[in-house]
Structure 1
Amino acid sequence: PAEWDAAALAQRAHLLQTWEWGALKQNFGWRVERIAWRDAANLYAGAQILYRALAPGLTVAYIPRGPFGAAETLVPFLTALVRHVRARGAFLLKLEPDWQRDDPRAQNLRAIRARPTFETIQPSATIELDLTADLETILARMKAKWRYNIRLSEKKDVVVRVGAAAALPAFYELLRVTGARDHFAIHSLAYYRAAWELLAARDRARLFIAEYAQQPLAMIFVTAFADQALYLYGASGNAERNRMPNHALHWAAIQWAKTRGCARYDLWGIPETAAEPGETENLPTSLYQFKHGFGGATIHYTGAWDLVFNPVKYRLYQLARKIRQNKIGA
């Protein structure tokens, strides 16, 4: 684990390519492999691959925010990677690299016959704050209302503190409220506890708690790896929302991330259309507006790429996904 994460750290890989993230997924239904392009002294490229059997004889392979490595090693590495995954019996290899749109490395994916797809798993766009400036500049880049709300939360006696494992049940209860209010599915408490235990053990996670009168109003689960801090999960109740606990939480997390030496604070996902001219007013929620108010830059990723090994099974897979989505929509 230490050698893998050291290589991922040196290559500025994403959190989802760390050993701990793979261990988390392995505890919840995925089989994990880590393969590398290396010599005796150095690891030049790597990929953490997650496998899941959707049905007997129907296994998908997935690389979240990977592979990672030097551009000049990607072509031979990807060729070996394809042979490896095909030999494992997967009908599909889905890749979602940690590359921005129009990254020239995407041509290496075309070279292995992978094709872009709209069926993404990770966010296809996000907002990222530049933490290399001083705190005053970071604050000045925010919208005036956001600076006001940060100050207002303090005036309204909101206190932000760092929580430990004992706070996870309260975090989960707030998350259940958030999921019901904002109409999204959540994992089990066991999943978030496992994520905390694995990441906190390597000092890569913090649970920030915003309280009023010693009652938790909102919490965020933030990670740090390489030069990036990542707002991974957030939860808030319905009470005392006028005290702006979420603004206070992110300001505390930004300060922590900067102290850690992170150069970026990723707000973890916005709708892909959010930065298109004239479309922000059509978003169904205030998600984009809230994140955009912190003054970051909109980042568009290269998206998901599918390499199909068995076209018949792939069509069955797409049909099953469409049926499932229609049922959810109904």
Structure 2
Amino acid sequence: MSALLVTAGCGRQEARLGPITAQAYRAFVASRTGSALGPGFLQCPSWAEVKEGWQAQLLGWGPDTGPAAGELTGVALVLLRQFPGTRKYFAYLPEGPVADWSDPDVDAWLMPLLRHLRGAGAFAVRIGPTPDFRRWNAARLKAVTGTGRRLSDVLACQVDPLGTAVAERLRARGWHRCGGDNPGDDGDAQPRYVFRVPLAGRTTEDLWAGLNQEWRRNVRRAHASGVEVEVGGAAELPEFYRLLQITEERDGFRLGRSPAYFERQYAALNAEEPGRMKLYLARHQGEILAAHTMVTVGRRVWYQTGASADHRREVRPSNALQWRMMLDAHARGAEVYDMRGVPPTLDPHDRPYGLLRWKLGTGGQVVETLGEWERPLSGAANHTLYRAFQLYLARR
């Protein structure tokens, strides 16, 4: 690991920070994937190959002296986007860095990172701290839906003290949460509210019992109707994309992804680790009616993107797909099945609520993460450019 910055911190000596190889980076990530709290796929080196139009850096830091000198204690995939017409960059660490967020002396590793980014030409930085903030069980949320209601109106089943502490530490250092503390659907590039089904310590019978009656009925209907679930491959990505376009039109959203994006993602993630990204297909009478992608890193599994046809929805291909994916995640020893983003609305009249209602049927939990945090880097010019960049994003 190259030495770029070593200075005295406020509480202790700052960590040595510098560029590292992809091999060293992956080895560190692998050492942290033994639980559901391990790194996410957005901080894997392969994600840099997915994000076209961004420059990437792999950084690592650790102690400069003592018996652990030279060992990595944290890593970060940094994506750099050049601001049009300048030589300045916006630095983005999606769901990262991979660091010890429980360390009360965050300056020891965060300040070297910020100085490095400023030296690399960054005018602002956005990070995604990994601790959770609040959780709500599905049973509680089903009981409190109503006109105008939102997740923030409901007392959480659990508040994570680490998440609360990290938020306070970041605010004290000039960071602000994207979208504010009471967000709508905007502000964060990654979903702040996600839905997770716990798998650790549960049998397949427990998982089945955790589904609500509607979900169990729909899974049985799919099987009785002859829906067959299989794992596809790159050859089926065009069909997946066609179904995704149908889904976007039907459900009133747009991901803004091209076919090439999913091709890069599938190739890059599976080149890094075979089977990291899988494409699940639901066929009925020989026709693909639904296709969902799944990503695995260590003991964490994500349902990333789902797509389905408009016709023959009564045979419930998406329920069959999700049940099979959940079982496969359980069989490989995953501790959590993450169904990714959900809207913050609890109003049944809001169109986005349908997605939350569907995921609530699996019996998991809505988790509010800490969301994404930003700050301009020091210097009047950087602050001015940061304000201009915010206006640029708003126009886009």
The TM-score normalised by the length of structure 1 is 0.91
**Range with bigger deviation, 174-183 or 235-244:** 174-183
**How many Å separate the matches in 2 of 1:262 and 1:147?**
22
The Cα shift of 1:41 comes to 5.4
Contact kept? 2:59, 2:76, Cα under 8 Å: yes
Aligned to 1:61, the other structure's residue is in SS state strand
Contact kept? 2:193, 2:369, Cα under 8 Å: yes
**1:254 counterpart residue number:** 326
Q: CA RMSD in A?
A: 1.7
Contact kept? 2:25, 2:60, Cα under 8 Å: no
One-letter amino acid of the structure 1 residue matched with residue 47 of structure 2: W
Residue 171 of structure 2 is aligned with which of 107, 110, 115?
A: 110
**1:123-272 matched pairs, under 5 angstroms:** 123-132=191-200, 133-182=202-251, 183-201=253-271, 202=273, 203-271=275-343
**1:35 counterpart residue number:** 59
**2:28 counterpart residue number:** 7
**How many Å separate the matches in 2 of 1:210 and 1:227?**
25
Residue 86 of structure 1 is aligned with which of 98, 118, 123?
A: 118
Contact kept? 1:120, 1:304, Cα under 8 Å: yes
One-letter amino acid of the structure 2 residue matched with residue 9 of structure 1: A
Residue 94 of structure 2 is aligned with which of 59, 64, 74?
A: 64
**1:327 counterpart residue number:** none
Highest Rg: 1 or 2?
2
Aligned residues: 317
**How many Å separate the matches in 2 of 1:151 and 1:43?**
49
Aligned to 1:68, the other structure's residue is in SS state coil
Aligned to 1:268, the other structure's residue is in SS state strand
Aligned to 1:29, the other structure's residue is in SS state coil
**How many Å separate the matches in 2 of 1:283 and 1:263?**
32
One-letter amino acid of the structure 2 residue matched with residue 36 of structure 1: G
The Cα shift of 1:2 comes to 3.4
Q: Please list the CA deviations of residues 160-183 of structure 1 after superposition, one character each: whole Å capped at 9, or x if unmatched.
A: 000011111111111121122223
Aligned to 1:19, the other structure's residue is in SS state coil
Contact kept? 1:176, 1:186, Cα under 8 Å: no
One-letter amino acid of the structure 1 residue matched with residue 75 of structure 2: G
**1:293 counterpart residue number:** 361
**How many Å separate the matches in 2 of 1:291 and 1:250?**
10
Unmatched tracts of structure 1, length 5 or more = 325-330
Q: Larger % of helix: which?
A: 1
- Identity over aligned residues, as a percent? 30
Q: Please list the CA deviations of residues 77-128 of structure 1 after superposition, one character each: whole Å capped at 9, or x if unmatched.
A: 1110000111122221011222212512334433542222202100010110
**How many Å separate the matches in 1 of 2:130 and 2:106?**
14
Aligned to 2:46, the other structure's residue is in SS state helix
**How many Å separate the matches in 2 of 1:109 and 1:49?**
19
The Cα shift of 1:37 comes to 1.1
Matched, 1:284 2:345: no
TM superposition outliers: structure 1 runs of 4+ over 6 Å: none
Matched, 1:48 2:115: no
Aligned to 1:280, the other structure's residue is in SS state coil
**1:328 counterpart residue number:** none
One-letter amino acid of the structure 2 residue matched with residue 166 of structure 1: A
Contact kept? 2:49, 2:264, Cα under 8 Å: no
**How many Å separate the matches in 2 of 1:319 and 1:165?**
38
The Cα shift of 1:198 comes to 1.6
The TM-score normalised by the length of structure 2 is 0.76
One-letter amino acid of the structure 2 residue matched with residue 83 of structure 1: R
Contact kept? 2:94, 2:128, Cα under 8 Å: yes
Q: Please list the CA deviations of residues 275-301 of structure 1 after superposition, one character each: whole Å capped at 9, or x if unmatched.
A: xxxx33243231111111111111001
**How many Å separate the matches in 1 of 2:217 and 2:27?**
41
**How many Å separate the matches in 2 of 1:108 and 1:31?**
29
The Cα shift of 1:260 comes to 1.6
Q: Please list the CA deviations of residues 175-219 of structure 1 after superposition, one character each: whole Å capped at 9, or x if unmatched.
A: 121122223133111110111112223121111000001110000
Aligned to 1:43, the other structure's residue is in SS state coil
